[in-house]
Chains A and B, each alone.
Chain A
Amino acid sequence: MKYRLVSGLETHVELATATKIFCGCTTAFGGSPNTHCCPVCTGQPGALPVLNKKVVEYAIRAGLATHCSINTTTHLDRKNYCYPDLPKAYQISQFDKPLCEHGYVELESGKRIGITRIHIEEDAGKLVHESGYTYIDYNRGGVPLIEIVSEPDISSPEEAKEYVEKLQLIMRYIGVSDCKMQEGSMRCDVNISVMPEGATEFGTRTEIKNMNSISYIEKAMAYEYERQIEVIESGGQIVQATLRYDERTGETSVMRTKEDAQDYRYFPEPDILTVVIPEEKVEEIRKSLPELPTDKLKRYINDLKINAATAKLLYKYKRVCDFAERAIALGAGVKNTVNLIVGTLYSKLETEEDKEKFALPITAESMAELVKLVDGGKVNITLAQKTLALMAEEGKPVSAYIKPEDMAGMDDGELTDVCRKAVEENPAAVQDFKNGKEKAIFALYGYVKKATQGKADIKKADEIIRKLINR
């Protein structure tokens, strides 16, 4: 029997605010233990939380960027559980009135993964277990989080990967989080069930907690899918449970079953009043959103006519896109701009992080200047590539590398003259070419290259030569 995989993700994203959600302590990562703490975030009796405006703003940004509707009247709730990472013995979160609801994230195939809700909450402290003790550091306690809950729309590990990557991309684009999974500023809980092909009811689900790497999410899902099918095929039943994924063995194991899953006894948080967000504020945030990744990709392909493969190499890196778009706005041709970026600048930006930061000492102005020379046929692409590589290293303008005399004679008229000579002085090659020997044209390229000391744009020369021969 064939089985369908049904999965939904709960993704925690740490917000990039300067202070915690309910107090003025810093959210800076690291720091000596218990030095970013105050009476509020360590749950001292009588301390009262005051909600950070920016947290609400960032959460709304995240909601709008994932096409959610915003609940302009919203409140917080207490989620009770006893564990040392939570000094108050409850987490302030949201239960029945999340800030954002009913959104979606679009995958490249066009499939939409529904977003059930996005709510705000506080992070817990960090526990270090050593010999007979557990040591608590509350620096992370009270750092603002959003929890993004997806619909069970994900039907393969690949889709889960793309969904998480898209979320990461969107959150970085809109500047609400750096989403560094290895530092814990983004973590996922994965819900999985299987159902026979054609069935209408979902199977019993399990939840794999606290995944902090996309490749582990994929592997854990694949493992859990196979495991559940095996259980069902051998006549067993899936037990609803919370699982942990062992990165070394690649297997899942039970953390707790439903029987002792906690009863959180949610109730409205009495220390924080209901928040009323003015409609104008929501509109203001909507207007301040940058173009979103999916829209950008579509525009690159449909409007700028960049080929899909190149567009996909560009759109993920907002700073690269800003750079390219500025150069284009200054008059640089789209095709040469993006090809030079992907072909030459990317060899200097090897890692994802390099591309994200885009810290090359080159301005969009000098990029535009160079590309315009290529567009106008004054500089050929090989020379442009060499020049750009130097510019990206040394940060000097185009004029430092390409002198006016290097470009002299390279306008279209002069190039036509050289091509004409090439045709006249190589009758044999021309004849061969006319007889259908396509490669014979290389001899003519060689002539042009030599005559112009490599400055000619061979692509352009090719066009001219073909025209001349056919005449």
Chain B
Amino acid sequence: MPITQKEIKTLARLSRLEFSDGEIERFASEFEEIIEFANRINGQVEGDASSIREVVTRTVKWEDLREDEVKESLPNEKITSNVEAENGYFPVRRVVK
């Protein structure tokens, strides 16, 4: 399954990552190998790969779902301890014009 540089560029954009042209070229061929590898699983199950979900699916019972009971949240200082919070907010570079 050939992976084009255009697809790598799309993925990079969606992931907010920037790469040089050289990297994109290299990733395209590496991605092809990775997908090739993952595709081997298709030969391991009868029928098509979509049946895998049925095989591996485990279920949760109704009574094991969480009851709607409020638990204490973390204090703001703790939640924001990895950033320099401003008035309790997480500041990031402005995302809209």
User: Interface of A with B (CB < 8 Å)?
Assistant: 17-19, 23-26, 32-39, 42, 50-56, 73, 75, 80-84, 127-129, 131-138, 262-263, 265, 268, 272-278, 281
Contact = CB atoms under 8 A, between A and B. Distances in A.
A128 B96 CA distance: 10
B89 interface: yes
Interface size, B (range) = 35 or more
A33 B69 contact: no
Contact of B66 (A33, A50, A82, A265): A50
A52 B68 CA distance: 6
B79 interface: yes
Contacts of B79: 34-35, 37-38, 42, 138
- A interface SS class: loop
Given A17-B68, A19-B71, A39-B74, A82 B14 contact: yes
Contacts of A36: 73
11 contacts: A18-B70, A25-B71, A33-B76, A33-B88, A42-B79, A127-B95, A128-B89, A129-B94, A274-B60, A277-B62, A281-B62
Contacts of A138: 79, 90
Nearest to B68: A54
Interface string B50-83: 0001000111111001111111111110011000
Nearest to A132: B94
Contact of A53 (B53, B62, B87): B62
Nearest to A135: B89
A258 to B, nearest CB: 14
Contacts of B62: 53, 275-278, 281
Contacts of B66: 19, 24, 50-53
Contacts of A80: 14
Given A38-B73, A51-B66, A52-B65, 6 more contacts: A19-B66, A19-B68, A26-B73, A36-B73, A136-B89, A273-B58
B74 A82 contact: no
B88 A34 contact: yes
Contacts of A75: 57
Interface of B: 10, 14-16, 53, 57-62, 65-76, 79-80, 85-96
A37 B74 contact: yes
Contacts of A133: 86, 91-94
A420 B32 CA distance: 104
Given A32-B88, A276-B59, A25 B68 contact: no
A128 B76 CA distance: 17
Contacts of A281: 62
Contact of B60 (A39, A81, A273): A273
A191 B95 CA distance: 26
Nearest to A36: B73
A22 to B, nearest CB: 8
A90 B60 CA distance: 22
A55 B59 CA distance: 17
Contacts of B74: 37-39
B92 A84 contact: yes
Given A53-B68, A129-B96, A25 B89 contact: no
A263 B80 contact: no
Contacts of B67: 53-54
A120 B90 CA distance: 27
A26 B69 CA distance: 9
B68 A18 contact: yes
Nearest to A17: B68
